[in-house]
């Protein structure tokens, strides 16, 4: 038996592989158990890491969480300053950015508030607006708030005339088509929304804004940082967080993440114990084999090594299967729930592999230990 | 004889049976915990989303445009419309009263700040109002619960602080007001001194106003018993096609649809019911809050459902795997039983009974352990207990039963198909 190390190693591999092949059905059971554990592990951890990002996107349906208002006393916000401020926000995180300019105009000699804005951006910053009719697509068509529409009896498709005086005190008059009626439940229902260029055309000057609404997909700390940077670096703009949205988002997101975290921990713990018991059942069956080997003169250490070799193989293969299946599973969930694909966490591959090998090894060693500790004669006799 | 053999099996292989029972218990507890949490997560998250504030705004008919649109001052003689304070308790008597979490009335007026802004919005409201309902119940409600994102330096007001006020950060910044200062306000020639108890930062229009207890503002404007608007925070069900149609025109529904709509906690039906109990009012869903809540609620529920399915599948596979492994292990026993003349069916029954008895024991233990896990999740995440749903019991029972059968039957059949001599020989 004391041959050269090469031979010993070949023998070791032969024993491990033949043990795996001879006992196909049992090994399949064990492999399945490990793979299930690994799938749950990698799937849940991927979801856990992706939840804040995915949910953060959902929370953007609450609308703007940061607004720019003019600094100082009521002067207008210049377009350039707003653009300069926007540069401090990471471009990938911007969901939408809608500029607003408010002016008082008259319809039938009654004053109304008109808001000039960028409709495409409004759709992104205020996804909760309920528009009956169509969103305006070209100049000359406008959105009218529900209250205004009720008050002057407008419905989509109607034409009305807007009059007023521009900044040089010259009067203007222009016809607009109502493309849709907007319902929000808030003050927006009392406004008329037209494109910024239309309003600038009426008023006769450009580049002035009253407020810019930004919807940013970022955590509270990142937002605080953005506010700080803009305050320090950009003149003429005061960034303000919309507290109701940012604060509440933080609270709810933390809760949700804690929920998924706890669920993940409990599910993992239970699954891992399940895997371990199955492995123990599979190994416990081989007490006789261990007894026989010991009777033939095998050292405890070499028996343990042999089992560890099998575990390495089972844990590795099961872990790999689990990584793939877990990702497929997390992807399915993400696509179904959030309609977005999930980002793959490369770090999970080694972690999943390590955990599945460790658990398999631990589950093997317990019964193997108890079998090797006992006198082979007793084991062989079946006691 | 049959039962003696079953009992014998338990005593002889205590360790193994215990392990099976343990695994089944783990699987069952996982299923119980996840199902309970999943069924309750909707309510819990809905409660959390209340931090976004009110989702229904109640205003008097016709009056809503005045302030926002024309900048027309209230009390300037035109059609001033108000709601009656005395009717507010009715909000808690509607069909969905149980879903009304909080509500707060507001009385808005404009005042002059002596030694400061010429015009400031003064809002009278409830801070922590104790209300006796017509039904005999009582309720504490008010701003303090509804605006929990406000950052207050100093203290919150209470309804009894008739000579104090809370000042918005923008007003205080402009006029250099600090907590503890005394400010004087003037309304149509009358003046009143108020001690500033706190400065708040709400991050919205509210920062432009001074808040006082409701009766103070009403007395100042000589409009006792009237309020300008009410904000209501209600637990709602996400909108669907029916509720959208109903929101546009409740009269356009068939009687059956109307009943379904009225008896479901849609934001539109709750608004409708509030309008019924408050004279001349319009209750409008605040879409920003109502709509988003629905979206987030649906996503969370779906997410939990899918995680639950994963853990159910995981525990099902785990259990059936172990059962398979432990049945396979007994090939020699099968061989022996068959060699001494046992028929296939009694042998299968014997093993099945053993395993099912184990499953019942393990499943029961697991169910109670699962309730414990569910409560751990509920307490640590939401700070409240998870409702125990009785429907989880049959679900878990069926799951455990099916999974054990699925795990044992194929392996029993496999072993029975082997020839006793070969098995006993050890091949």
Whether residue B311 and residue A267 make contact (CB cut-off 8 A), yes or no, is: yes
Shared-domain flag, residues B255 and B327? no
The pLDDT > 90 percentage for chain B reads 7
The pLDDT > 70 percentage for chain B reads 93
Shared-domain flag, residues B191 and B60? yes
DSSP output for B7-43: HHHHHHTHHHHHHHHHHHHHHHHHHHHHHHHHHHHHH
Hunting for tokens 């429907």 — which residue is that?
B391
How does residue A193 score in pLDDT terms, banded at 50, 70 and 90? Answer: very high
Structural domains of chain B, count:
2
CA B44 to CA B58: how far, in whole Å?
26
Closest CB to B149: pick one of A248, A274, A329.
A248
Closest CB to B288: pick one of A184, A190, A243.
A184
SS3 A224: helix
**Of the candidate ranges A221-230, A361-370, B118-127, B352-361, the one whose mean pLDDT is the lowest:** A361-370
The reply to whether B319 falls in a domain is yes
Shared-domain flag, residues B129 and B193? yes
Confidence (pLDDT) at B425: 67
Shared-domain flag, residues B394 and B261? no
Confidence (pLDDT) at B178: 85
Hunting for tokens 């239970």 — which residue is that?
A270
Confidence (pLDDT) at B208: 85
The DSSP symbol for B386 reads: P
Q: Which residue has the higher pLDDT, A345 or B364?
A: B364
pLDDT digits (tens, 9 = 90+) for B325-355: 777 777 777 778 888 888 888 888 888 888 8
Shared-domain flag, residues B343 and B246? no
Hunting for tokens 């000359």 — which residue is that?
A140
Shared-domain flag, residues B184 and B331? no
Shared-domain flag, residues B253 and B300? no
Helix (H) or strand (E) holding A52: helix A24-59
Shared-domain flag, residues B199 and B259? yes
Confidence (pLDDT) at B62: 65
In total, the C-beta contacts within 8 angstroms joining chain A to chain B are: 217
Whether residue A281 and residue B325 make contact (CB cut-off 8 A), yes or no, is: yes
Mean pLDDT of chain B: 82
The reply to whether B351 falls in a domain is yes
Domain boundary among the residues B254, B285, B316 is at B285
B157 touches chain A (CB under 8 A): no
pLDDT digits (tens, 9 = 90+) for A197-210: 888 888 888 888 88
Model confidence at B78: pLDDT above 50: no
pLDDT digits (tens, 9 = 90+) for B385-427: 888 888 889 988 998 888 888 878 877 777 777 777 776 765 5
Shared-domain flag, residues B72 and B30? no
Nearest to B266 by CA among B292, B238, B241, B232: B238
Q: Which residue has the higher pLDDT, A34 or A16?
A: A34
Shared-domain flag, residues B26 and B134? no
Contacts of B325 in chain A (CB under 8 A): 26, 29-30, 278, 281-282, 285
Which chain B residue lies closest to A128 (C-alpha atoms)?
B288
B 362-381 residues inside an 8 A Cβ radius of A: 373, 376-377, 380-381
Shared-domain flag, residues B65 and B92? yes
Hunting for tokens 């495409």 — which residue is that?
A120
Model confidence at A238: pLDDT above 50: yes
E strand intervals along B79-219: 83-84, 100-113, 120-125, 129-132, 138-141, 151-154, 164-168, 182-187, 190-201, 209-213
- Mutate which: B69, B201, B282, B323, vs A, most A CBs within 10 A: B69
CA B334 to CA B326: how far, in whole Å?
13
The stretch B225-242 carries a mean pLDDT of: 85
Contacts of A256 in chain B (CB under 8 A): 45, 300
Instruction: Report phi then psi at B92, rounded to 5.
Output: -85, 10
Closest CB to B57: pick one of A26, A185, A260.
A185
Q: Which residue has the higher pLDDT, A13 or B167?
A: B167
Residues contacting B332, CB < 8 A, separation 6+: B423, B424, B426
The stretch A123-137 carries a mean pLDDT of: 87
CA distance B225 to chain A (A): 25
The pLDDT > 70 percentage for chain A reads 95
Q: Which residue has the higher pLDDT, A371 or A88?
A: A88
Model confidence at B66: pLDDT above 80: no
Token pair of B50 as six digits = 């209340």
CA B79 to CA B82: how far, in whole Å?
10
Model confidence at B73: pLDDT above 60: no
Shared-domain flag, residues B82 and B182? yes
CA A138 to CA A195: how far, in whole Å?
8
The DSSP symbol for B266 reads: B
CA distance B115 to chain A (A): 18
Nearest to B317 by CA among B407, B393, B414, B412: B407
Whether residue B64 and residue A190 make contact (CB cut-off 8 A), yes or no, is: yes
Nearest to B392 by CA among B23, B25, B39: B39
The stretch B357-382 carries a mean pLDDT of: 89
| pTM, rounded to two decimals | 0.73
pLDDT digits (tens, 9 = 90+) for B32-62: 888 888 888 888 887 777 777 778 888 887 6
Q: State the residue range of the domain holding B197.
A: 55-285
Contact assessment for residue A272 and residue A315, using Cβ atoms and an 8 Å cutoff: no
How does residue A5 score in pLDDT terms, banded at 50, 70 and 90? Answer: low
The reply to whether B355 falls in a domain is yes
Contacts of A282 in chain B (CB under 8 A): 325
Buried b (16+ CB within 10 A) or exposed e, A281-305: bbbbbbbeebbebbeeebeeeebbe
Mean pLDDT of chain A: 83
Confidence (pLDDT) at B70: 46
The stretch A288-304 carries a mean pLDDT of: 82
pLDDT digits (tens, 9 = 90+) for B127-138: 888 888 777 788
Confidence (pLDDT) at B75: 46
Domain boundary among the residues B244, B259, B285 is at B285
The reply to whether B290 falls in a domain is no
- Prediction ipTM score: 0.73
């Amino acid at each position: 038996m004391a041959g050269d190390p090469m031979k010993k190693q070949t023998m070791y591999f032969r024993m491990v592989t033949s043990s795996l092949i001879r006992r196909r059905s049992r090994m399949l059971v064990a492999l399945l158990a490990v793979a299930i554990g690994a799938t749950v592990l990698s799937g849940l951890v991927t979801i856990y890491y992706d939840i804040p990002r995915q949910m953060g996107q959902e929370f953007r349906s609450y609308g703007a969480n940061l607004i720019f208002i003019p600094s100082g006393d009521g002067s207008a916000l210049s377009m350039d300053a707003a653009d300069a401020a926007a540069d401090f926000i990471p471009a990938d995180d911007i969901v939408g950015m809608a500029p607003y300019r408010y002016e008082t105009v008259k319809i039938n000699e009654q004053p109304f508030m008109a808001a000039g804005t960028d409709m495409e951006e409004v759709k992104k910053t205020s996804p909760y607006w309920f528009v009956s009719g169509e969103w305006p697509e070209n100049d000359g068509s406008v959105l009218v708030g529900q209250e205004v529409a009720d008050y002057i009896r407008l419905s989509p498709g109607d034409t009305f005339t807007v009059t007023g005086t521009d900044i040089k005190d010259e009067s203007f008059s222009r016809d607009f088509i109502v493309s849709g009626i907007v319902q929000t439940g808030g003050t927006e229902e009392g406004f008329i929304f037209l494109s910024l260029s239309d309003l600038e055309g009426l008023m006769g000057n450009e580049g002035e804004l009253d407020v810019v609404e930004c919807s940013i997909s970022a955590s509270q700390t990142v937002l605080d940082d953005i506010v700080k940077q803009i305050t320090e670096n950009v003149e003429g703009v005061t960034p303000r967080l919309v507290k109701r949205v940012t604060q509440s988002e933080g609270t709810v997101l933390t809760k949700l993440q804690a929920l998924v975290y706890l669920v993940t921990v409990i599910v993992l713990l239970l699954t891992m114990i399940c895997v371990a018991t199955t492995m123990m059942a599979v190994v416990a069956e081989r007490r006789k084999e261990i007894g026989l080997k010991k009777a033939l003169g095998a050292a405890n250490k070499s028996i343990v090594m042999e089992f560890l070799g099998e575990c390495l193989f089972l844990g590795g293969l099961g872990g790999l299967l689990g990584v793939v299946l877990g990702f497929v599973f997390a992807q399915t969930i993400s696509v179904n729930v959030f309609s977005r694909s999930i980002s793959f966490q490369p770090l999970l591959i080694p972690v999943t592999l390590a955990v599945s090998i460790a658990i398999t090894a631990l589950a093997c060693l317990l019964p193997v230990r108890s079998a090797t500790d006992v006198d082979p004669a007793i084991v062989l006799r079946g006691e | 004889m049959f039962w003696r053999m079953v009992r014998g099996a338990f005593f002889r292989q205590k360790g193994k049976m215990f392990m099976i029972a343990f695994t089944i218990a783990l699987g069952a507890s996982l299923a119980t915990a996840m199902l309970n949490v999943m069924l309750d997560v909707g309510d819990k998250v809905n409660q959390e989303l209340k931090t976004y504030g009110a989702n229904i705004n109640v205003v008097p008919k016709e009056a809503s445009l005045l302030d926002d649109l024309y900048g027309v001052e209230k009390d300037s003689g035109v059609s001033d419309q108000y709601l009656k304070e005395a009717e507010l308790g009715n909000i808690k008597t509607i069909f969905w009263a149980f879903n009304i979490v909080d509500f707060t009335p507001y009385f808005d007026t404009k005042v002059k700040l002596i030694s400061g802004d010429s015009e400031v919005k003064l809002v009278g409201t409830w801070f922590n109002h104790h209300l006796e309902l017509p039904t005999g119940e009582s309720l504490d409600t008010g701003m303090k619960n509804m605006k929990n994102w406000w950052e207050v330096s100093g203290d919150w007001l209470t309804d009894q602080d008739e000579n104090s006020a809370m000042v918005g950060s923008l007003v205080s910044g402009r006029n250099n007001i600090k907590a503890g200062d005394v400010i004087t306000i003037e309304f149509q020639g009358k003046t009143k001194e108020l001690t500033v108890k706190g400065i708040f930062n709400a991050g919205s229009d509210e920062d432009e106003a001074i808040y006082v207890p409701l009766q103070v503002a009403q007395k100042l404007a000589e409009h006792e018993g009237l309020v300008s608007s009410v904000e209501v925070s209600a637990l709602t069900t996400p909108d669907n096609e029916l509720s959208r149609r109903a929101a546009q025109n409740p009269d356009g529904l068939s009687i059956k649809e109307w009943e379904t709509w009225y008896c479901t906690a849609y934001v539109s039906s709750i608004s409708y019911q509030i309008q019924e109990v408050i004279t001349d009012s319009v209750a409008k869903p605040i879409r920003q809050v109502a709509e988003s809540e629905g979206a987030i609620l649906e996503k969370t529920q779906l997410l939990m459902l899918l995680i639950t399915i994963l853990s159910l599948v995981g525990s099902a596979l785990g259990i059936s795997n172990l059962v398979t492994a432990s049945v396979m292990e007994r090939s020699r026993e099968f061989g022996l039983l068959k060699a001494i003349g046992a028929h296939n069916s009694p042998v299968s029954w014997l093993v099945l009974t053993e395993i099912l008895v184990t499953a019942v024991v393990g499943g029961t233990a697991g169910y109670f352990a699962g309730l414990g896990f569910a409560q751990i999740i509920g307490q640590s995440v939401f700070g409240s207990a998870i409702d125990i749903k009785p429907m989880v019991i049959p679900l878990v029972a069926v799951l455990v039963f099916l999974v054990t059968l699925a795990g044992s039957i194929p392996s029993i059949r496999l072993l029975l198909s082997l020839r006793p001599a070969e098995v006993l020989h050890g091949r």
